[in-house]
Amino acid sequence: MAKRDYYEVLGVTRTASEKDIRQAYRKLARKYHPDVNPNDKTAEARFKEIGEAYEVLSDKEKRAKYDRFGHNWQQMEAQEQAAKQAGFGTGGFGSGPGGFTWEFRTGPGGGAGDFGGFSDILEQILRGTEGRGRTGFRTRTQPMRGQDLEHPLEVSLAEAFTGTTRLLQMEGPDLRRLEVKIPAGVKDGSRVRIAGEGGPGVGGGPRGDLYLVISVRPDPTFERKGDDLYVDIPVPLSVLMLGGEAYVPTPKGTRLALKIPPETQNGKLFRLAGQGMPRLGDSGRGDLYARVQAVLPTGLSPRERELFQELAKLRK
C-alpha cells in the first residue's frame, strides 16, 4: 500500500508552522497511543504512521527534502552524497571530472528524473565498488557515516520520574527491534541518544545515531514546571482554622504528612524540598509544592449552624 502524504497524516497544510505540526502530532499521538487503545492493531498502525510523519516534518532539513522529493527523499539524499564523493555537484547542470557535463532533474511527484549516463556511475558508487562509467573515468566511494535519525517518544510523568525502558520496532529495509532506556528526569524536548542505531552507512561506513525526542503526557495529579511539581491537597476548613495535619501525595506513590498551622489561608503553598522531579544528568531533585484547597462543610446539623451563626456574630 502506498504511503499517505505526511501532511495529510498529521492533518496540517504544507505551509504549517513547526508549532502547528508539534501540536497536531501530540493531539493525534495521545488519541492513538497503544496504552489508550490496547490490542487495537488499527490504532497501533496509525500511531506508527503519525510518528513517522512527525519524525520527518519536525526536522527542517528532512522536511525540505521531503517537500522536494516526496517519500523518496532518503534515497535521493544518498545519491546526492554519493555524487559529491565522486566530484559532482547536485541539482541543475554541472561539470564532473574530465569536463563531463551532466543534468540532474526531478521528475513529477517528487521522484527521480532522467539521469542519463550518470545512472551507471551512481549505481557503482552506491554499491561501494570501483570501475569505469560511460564517461571513461574511475570512481570510488569512501566510507560514509550513516544519517542521524530522530524518533518521537511519549512517556508518562511517572515514567519520567523513575526512568523506564521501551521496546521500539524500527522500520526500513533492516527491520529490527531495540530495547532503549529512558533516564529519569526527561522532559518535553529531551533528546536521548542511542549510539549506532541510526541510518546505515554508505560504502561500509558506520551507522549514524538514533535520537529519541521525548514528550511527557500531562498528569492528572501533578503539574510540572521545570524540575518542580505542584499538587493540590484538600484540607478541611476546621484544620485550616485550628491547625492540624494533611497528607501530600508524591510521584513515588507515597504520602507525606504536612503540618498545617492555625489560620492557614486557602491557596497557600507549602514547599517540600527535594521531593520533585530528578534533575536529568544530576543527582539532585526539584521541589514539590502542595497547594491548600479548603474543603467547606456541607449538610450542617442544627447545632453546627448555630455555632457558625455565633461565630459570624463574634466576627462582626
Gap between the Cα atoms of 305 and 219, Å rounded: 39
- Is residue 98 pLDDT above 70, yes or no? no
Whole-prediction pTM: 0.56
Residue 29 has pLDDT above 90, yes or no: no
Whole-angstrom Cα distance, residue 156 to residue 185?
11
Cβ–Cβ contacts within 10 Å for residue 249, how many? Answer: 16
Helix (H) or strand (E) holding 11: none
Mean pLDDT value of segment 133-157 = 75
Average pLDDT over residues 267-281: 94
CB-hemisphere CA count at 13 Å for 261?
6
Packing angle between helix 73-85 and helix 60-69, nearest 10 degrees?
100
Per-residue model confidence as pLDDT tens digits over 188-226: 999 999 999 888 888 888 989 999 999 999 999 999 999
Mean pLDDT of 262-280: 95
Q: If you average pLDDT over each of 103-107, 120-124, 227-231, which comes out highest?
A: 227-231
Backbone φ and ψ of 269, nearest 5°:
-100, 135
* Bigger pLDDT: 299 vs 118: 299
| Of 32-36, 95-99, 257-261, minimum mean pLDDT range | 95-99
Query: Where do the domains of the chain lie, and which CATH numbers do they carry?
Result: 67-139 (no CATH), 143-218 (2.60.260.20), 223-314 (2.60.260.20)
pLDDT value for 34: 79
- pLDDT value of position 134: 45
Average pLDDT of every residue of the chain: 81
| pLDDT class of 282 with cuts at 50, 70, 90 | confident
CB of 212 closer than 8 Å to CB of 180: yes
Q: What is the pLDDT of residue 79?
A: 65
